[in-house]
Amino acid sequence: MRRAAVITHGKPETIGAALRRLQAVAAEVGVELLFSDEEVEKHGLAEAGDGDEDADLAVVLGGDGTMLRGLRRFLGTGVPVLGVNFGRVGFLAGIEADGLEEGLRRAFAGDYRVVDLPALDAETAGERWAAVNDLVVTSSSLGRMIELGWAVGGEDLGVQPCDGLICSTPSGSTAYNLSNGGPVLVWGLEAMAVTFVAPHSLHARPLVVPRGRELTVVNRTQDVSATVLVDGHAVDELPPGREVTTRLGEQHSLLATLPENTFFSRYRRIFAA
């Protein structure tokens, strides 16, 4: 391990002490830290931003939102992303805040494992996006229900009145998908979960879709547009009759974690305790 990129929580006053702890460990073991221009400005660092393209590992200081930003930044680059949890849940983080020094010493020595997490490819009218966590289609008018037609693998599954629809990856299945009653997808699965938000039906159930099957969602509402969100960011509007398609793509996020901090140990600690 020679070089590690650093991504931190958005508020420097919240994460500054943790950054200093990271810098001390890196200096102790001879690992060079790489900071983007954004991180240099955020923390008032003396050094210039070196970029992070040549990193061997990315270290994230923050919660799951910061981890998502790190996974998106290094999607498809081959750089594993290791999180130190300074958030509320921290399901994606491989090290807890009070174990920063020991955990990073181990990681910098190569004592970590990498989990491949598939991302989504989404497309509307020729525009394409990659989603690490999820794609969401929701009403563009607050409080207005929409009607969404949906099909999987070209087979029509009808029209569902609802507040929206979530299509999530395994890494995203423990986020917005889970809070709406969707299934948790164990890391290692090549599948996506489809879950309706507040469906106006007693029979709407989440669906797990394997790789190779495409999800098509059409706005069937007569007078309300739908908004498409990728990893929480609005990217497009669907007027009545317009559709978005999504599928598991070829790119993967690489999530680094200490060997003992497995998916099931995290699940038990956070969700089953």
The 10s digit of each residue's pLDDT in 27-81 is 999 999 999 888 888 888 876 556 677 899 999 999 999 999 999 999 999 999 9
C-alpha dist (Å) from residue 86 to 4, 19, 25, 64, 107: 19, 11, 17, 9, 18
Is the confidence at residue 82, as pLDDT, over 90? yes
In this prediction, residue 105 carries a pLDDT of: 98
In this prediction, residue 143 carries a pLDDT of: 86
- With bands split at pLDDT 50, 70 and 90, how would you rate the model's confidence at 273? low
In this prediction, residue 247 carries a pLDDT of: 98
Class of domain 119-250: mainly beta
Query: Residue 230 burial (CB < 10 Å; 0-12/13-18/19+)?
Result: buried
Angle at 89 between CA 83 and CA 95, to 5 degrees: 30
- With bands split at pLDDT 50, 70 and 90, how would you rate the model's confidence at 203? confident
**Separation between Cα atoms, residue 87 and residue 152, nearest integer Å:** 36
Type of residue found at 156: D
- With bands split at pLDDT 50, 70 and 90, how would you rate the model's confidence at 179? very high
When pLDDT is averaged across residues 181-186 and rounded to a whole number, the result is 96
When pLDDT is averaged across residues 157-170 and rounded to a whole number, the result is 97
State the DSSP code for 129: E
Is the confidence at residue 221, as pLDDT, over 60? yes
Is the confidence at residue 26, as pLDDT, over 90? yes
- Identify whether 163 is a catalytic site residue: no
pLDDT in tens, 222-248: 999 999 999 999 999 999 999 999 999
In this prediction, residue 50 carries a pLDDT of: 61
Of residues 64, 121, 134, 231, which has the active-site annotation? 64
- With bands split at pLDDT 50, 70 and 90, how would you rate the model's confidence at 10? confident
In this prediction, residue 156 carries a pLDDT of: 98
Structure tokens at 244: 């978005």
Is the confidence at residue 209, as pLDDT, over 70? yes
User: What is the CATH superfamily name and number for domain 3-112+258-272?
Assistant: Probable inorganic polyphosphate/atp-NAD kinase; domain 1 (3.40.50.10330)
pLDDT in tens, 88-142: 888 999 999 999 999 999 999 999 999 999 999 999 988 999 999 999 999 999 8
Q: Are 18 and 85 in contact (CB under 8 A)?
A: no
When pLDDT is averaged across residues 24-29 and rounded to a whole number, the result is 97
Is the confidence at residue 220, as pLDDT, over 70? yes
In this prediction, residue 202 carries a pLDDT of: 85
In this prediction, residue 61 carries a pLDDT of: 97
Is the confidence at residue 254, as pLDDT, over 70? yes
Q: Are 249 and 129 in contact (CB under 8 A)?
A: no
Comparing 3-112+258-272 with 119-250, is the CATH topology the same?
Answer: no
Sorted by where each begins, the domain ranges of the chain are 3-112+258-272, 119-250
Tell me the HSE value of 195 on the side-chain side, using a 13 A CA sphere: 23
Is 189 or 51 the better-scoring residue by pLDDT?
189
